[in-house]
Structure 1
Amino acid sequence: MDVAMPMVIARASDFGLTGNETQDELDNNNTFFERMEKVRLAAAKKMGMGDCSTSVTPKFGIVAPNDQINHLTVRYFMPWRTHPTLAVTGSQCIASCALTPDTVAYPLMTKSDSIPAHLVLHHPMGTMDVITDYSLNDNTFVHKSAGIIRTARKLAEGKVFVPNSIWDGDST
């Protein structure tokens, strides 16, 4: 799949995983990484990317069901270690995959009928909200756009003491 970032996306269960593993559990699973790398390199060739054994693309992601509508559990790899959260580009690609019929992610997520779709991707440190605008024409996915919803939090609060001469406009 290539939306924002070329990716290989697989079902966690196909690797004997639940999708809820921690970063440390995955990073210490050498068997998984060996299998993942073989799949990643084979997929890169099929994607026309050639030998990607020294390249970080395509990225790799695993997906697993989540009980909530429009929610999916995911893990993202860079590719030789587990990402602590989820890259923005990876989230857009995985969300698009989950909405595309005949992909590995499509049957794993219970979808609402709303378009654009608001998907929530669960990763080790929390969630990422992705909005994907698309259409389905005769079961063919037509991607229009994808973006994320971020919330801001207050980083600092303070006071500045300004002399009266400056505050009152006195230039001396």
Structure 2
Amino acid sequence: MFTRTFQQSLPIALASRRTISRASSSQHSLPAAYYRGGTSRAVFFRRDDLPRERSQWDPIFRGVIGSPDPYGRQLDGLGGGISSLSKVCVVGASTHRDAEVDYTFAALGVKNADVDYSSNCGNMVSAVGPYAVDSGLLATPKVDAESATVVVRIHNTNTGKIIHATFPVVNGEAAARGDLAIDGVADTAAPIQLDFINPAGSRTGKLLPTGAVKDTFDGIEATCIDAANPCVFVRADDLGVSGTLTPDEISTTPGLLSKLDCIRRQAGALMGLASTPEEVPGSVPKIGMVSSPVPGGSGRAVDLVVRALSVGQPHKAVPITVALALATAARLPGSTVADVTSSTPVDPAGITIGHASGNILVGATLGADGRLEYATVFRTARRLFEGRIFWK
């Protein structure tokens, strides 16, 4: 009797459970795309598809990326468990007279609920122009018929700065195939030239926000500079570590990450990014350890070496904005970066920077008054998918 009653009631119970499940499992969705830009990846939204109120963006971004995740994997979203894969970009029609599109960047914490709009992402900028073309946001992009390239002028709303992206197009879409290889990314792709126009003073309005080429924090000399993003650079030797540590070695060196973050927060407060070190955001200033090239070392020749951190994690390569700030600081006599930079450039076109995955060449053009007029890097990007993205 009991068995028969149980078996008879089981389908009813399961049906009831399925009904409840269907009622409670309805998900939200929006049109979106997923792009690799440089050595990063991000979910892209058109601004018009998002709620008008910015305060409603954060829970959407957390849901699609999978943050916060106490396991650090972001398995329930499109993040990848590290800062360079935990990003969202919003692109829309420009509000700036010198640009075709607006681009807003959001960096999301992996294990925490932070959604940080305080900085730009130079790697993801490389995908903004292709996204604008691919998504039809630019209905009639200005194409050079002879070279089949398009120039998209981008207004980064996080910093108020303008970036020009120049890249090839094929049949009205951003080209994917090409011969440019960048360290940290497998295979080659079409080149994207990024010109950061007048990048100095992105957040503080000054190239040297503290008014000094060097400051000292906890007995460690540092150069605080604002070019593309606020950054602070310390010499690895002064911290008693090798400048060629791997990202994993940085993470496992006792006390190193906490020491660097303490310096970063003090620098951020002195740069005017917050009233106190405790209030300094996680994404800026970014901090990097610099060192001189190792004579006869393995790999290609470089002018200086950096190990950068992004949102508290050792970067697998180098954030583009950090590379731009490094190239600028390398030209400032007396800075911690100039102290370790080779006096004879590997490539006369700019500064060649060694990072954890290889190197990058950054061109910096200075005016007659010594002001940084623009900085140039070459990256690649690729559309990975487009469609609708779901979150609970």
Which of the five TM-score ranges fits, normalised by the shorter chain? Answer: 0.7 to 0.9
Matches within 5 A, 1:121-136: 121-135=353-367
The answer to whether the 8 Å contact 1:129/1:150 transfers is no
The answer to whether the 8 Å contact 2:229/2:321 transfers is yes
Structure 1 pair 145–20 and aligned structure 2 pair: CA distance change class (3 A): same
Q: 1:145 aligns with which of 369, 374, 380?
A: 374
What is the distance in 2 between the residues matched to 1:119 and 1:35?
Answer: 28
Matches within 5 A, 1:1-172: 1-50=225-274, 51=276, 52-66=279-293, 67=295, 71-112=303-344, 117-135=349-367, 141-150=370-379
Letter in 2 for 1:149: F
Structure 1 pair 9–76 and aligned structure 2 pair: CA distance change class (3 A): same
Letter in 2 for 1:104: T
- Secondary structure of 1:110 counterpart: coil
The answer to whether the 8 Å contact 2:228/2:325 transfers is yes
- Secondary structure of 1:128 counterpart: strand
The answer to whether the 8 Å contact 1:70/1:112 transfers is no
What is the distance in 1 between the residues matched to 2:232 and 2:254?
Answer: 19
Letter in 1 for 2:228: A
Letter in 2 for 1:17: V
**Deviation string for 1:67-111 (max 9, x for gaps)?**
498611111101411010011111101111111112111121123
Deviates more, 1:37-46 or 1:51-60: 51-60
Structure 1 pair 135–104 and aligned structure 2 pair: CA distance change class (3 A): farther
Q: CA deviation at 1:127?
A: 0.6
Q: CA deviation at 1:24?
A: 0.3
TM-score computed with the length of structure 2 as normaliser: 0.35
The answer to whether the 8 Å contact 1:75/1:124 transfers is yes
What is the distance in 2 between the residues matched to 1:126 and 1:69?
Answer: 10
Q: CA deviation at 1:112?
A: 4.0
Q: Which runs of 5+ in 2 are unaligned?
A: 1-224, 382-392
- Secondary structure of 2:314 counterpart: coil
The answer to whether the 8 Å contact 1:131/1:149 transfers is no
**Deviation string for 1:110-143 (max 9, x for gaps)?**
2348xx7511111111111111112575xxx421
- Sequence identity, in percent? 25
Q: Which runs of 5+ in 1 are unaligned?
A: 153-172
CA RMSD of aligned residues (A): 2.6
Deviates more, 1:16-25 or 1:63-72: 63-72
- Secondary structure of 2:354 counterpart: strand
Please identify the structure whose Cα radius of gyration is greater: 2
Structure 1 pair 85–70 and aligned structure 2 pair: CA distance change class (3 A): closer
The answer to whether the 8 Å contact 1:70/1:111 transfers is no
Structure 1 pair 128–136 and aligned structure 2 pair: CA distance change class (3 A): same
